[in-house]
Amino acid sequence: MTELANVFNLDGARIPFEPGQTILTAALAAGVYIPHLCAHPDFPPHGSCKLCTVTVNGRDGPACTINALPGQDVRSDSPELNEIRRVLLQMLFVEGNHFCPGCEKSGACKLQALAYDLEMLSPHFVQFFPNRKVDASHPDFLLDFNRCIMCELCVRASRDVDGKNVFALAGRSRDSHIIVNSPSGRLGDSTLSIDDKAAHVCPVGAILRKEVGFVTPIGERLYDHEPISQVDLAEEAK
């Protein structure tokens, strides 16, 4: 039997991969961008945001959890898949309270950057306007649940890297929300410290460092000049 080369097809391009890589990691390493939010190179695949949904041999699934296999035919950058991604972004926008002009994360926010890159022109759906809390009890960090997108990166970082379990996802359905593990439920009474991975992993503006607001001016932020697709690939190439 001839051995199949470790290559799959992504929108017509040949993508080489190492066994064990997912479609997403292999594509990024090969310089092809697939939009994603909850996937993070430092953590195992999570597969909850579904932004990276691709069609593999005719079946849909998230590129971040599907292992690359020789000869796969993967579609990603198609009008219909990008339409699904736009709707998923719209869902994330209407589910929380995202007011970009007043957000410190604006310009460096993955949600906002993806919305620009995928040309999401409006939230489209009726806003949920949930009543979510702000927790400013911690000396170094502000917790603004209005902006949380339930990617659980803080949960994963605190549990798997910091070994602290500061955050957990609770509730279900549209009542899903992040809770803080402390006697009072407030961040100030938790063990979160400034060096924790969990404190710096939030892709949106839900966990914000205090006292450094607007140190980087609007216009000079991560995604202000290049779209997230290019910024991410440049990061990947480093």
Partner 1 sequence: MASIASSLDPILAGYGHDPTALLQILRDAQEVFDWISPEVRAAIAGTLGVPTARIDSLTQFYAHLYDTPRGRYRILFSDNITDRMAGSVALMDHMLTRLKLERGKLSADGVVSVDFTSCTGMCDQGPALLVNNRPVTRLTPRRIDEICDLIRALTPLDEWPADFFMVQDHIRRADMLLGAAYRRGDATRAAVARGAQAMLDEMKRSNLRGRGGAGFTTAVKWETCRDAPGEERFIICNADEGEPGTFKDRVLLQSFSERVFEGMAIAALVTGARRGFLYLRGEYSYLRAPLEAKLAEMRRENLLGEKICGAEGFDFDIAIHLGAGAYVCGEETALIESLEGKPGKPRIRPPFPATHGYLGFPTVVNNVETLCKATEVALIGGASYAGQGTKQSTGTKILSVSGDCERPGLYEYPFGVSIAQVLEDCGAQNPGAVQVGGAAGNCLTPAEFGRRIAFEDQPTAGALMVFGSQRDMIEAARNFARFFAHESCGFCTPCRVGTSLVADMVDKIAAGRGALYETMDLQRLHDILRRSSHCGLGQTAMLALGDMMQKFRPAFERRLTSRDFEPGFDLDAALARARELAGRDDAAAHLGADI
**Cβ proximity to partner 1, 174 vs 238, nearer residue:** 174
Residue 50 makes contact with partner 1 by CB under 8 A: yes
Given a contact cutoff of 8 angstroms between Cβ atoms, the answer to whether 226 and 220 are in contact is: no
Least separation in angstroms between CB 196 and partner 1: 15
User: What gap in Å lies between CA 29 and CA 118, rounded to an integer?
Assistant: 21
Of 41, 30, 36, nearest to 68 by C-alpha is 30
Residue 227 makes contact with partner 1 by CB under 8 A: no
Segment holding 75, helix H or strand E: strand 73-75
Q: Give me the helices (H) in 139-199, please.
A: 153-156
**Cβ proximity to partner 1, 19 vs 219, nearer residue:** 19
User: What gap in Å lies between CA 180 and CA 37, rounded to an integer?
Assistant: 22
User: What gap in Å lies between CA 14 and CA 6, rounded to an integer?
Assistant: 10
Least separation in angstroms between CB 168 and partner 1: 4
Residue 87 makes contact with partner 1 by CB under 8 A: yes
**Cβ proximity to partner 1, 99 vs 230, nearer residue:** 99
Residue 65 makes contact with partner 1 by CB under 8 A: yes
Count of Cβ atoms closer than 10 Å to residue 52 Cβ: 26
The residue from 13, 161, 168, 222 that contacts partner 1 (CB under 8 A) is: 168
**Cβ proximity to partner 1, 165 vs 216, nearer residue:** 165
- Residues at the interface with partner 1 (CB under 8 A): 45, 47-51, 53, 60, 65, 84, 87-88, 91-92, 94-95, 125-126, 128, 150, 165, 167-176, 179-181, 183
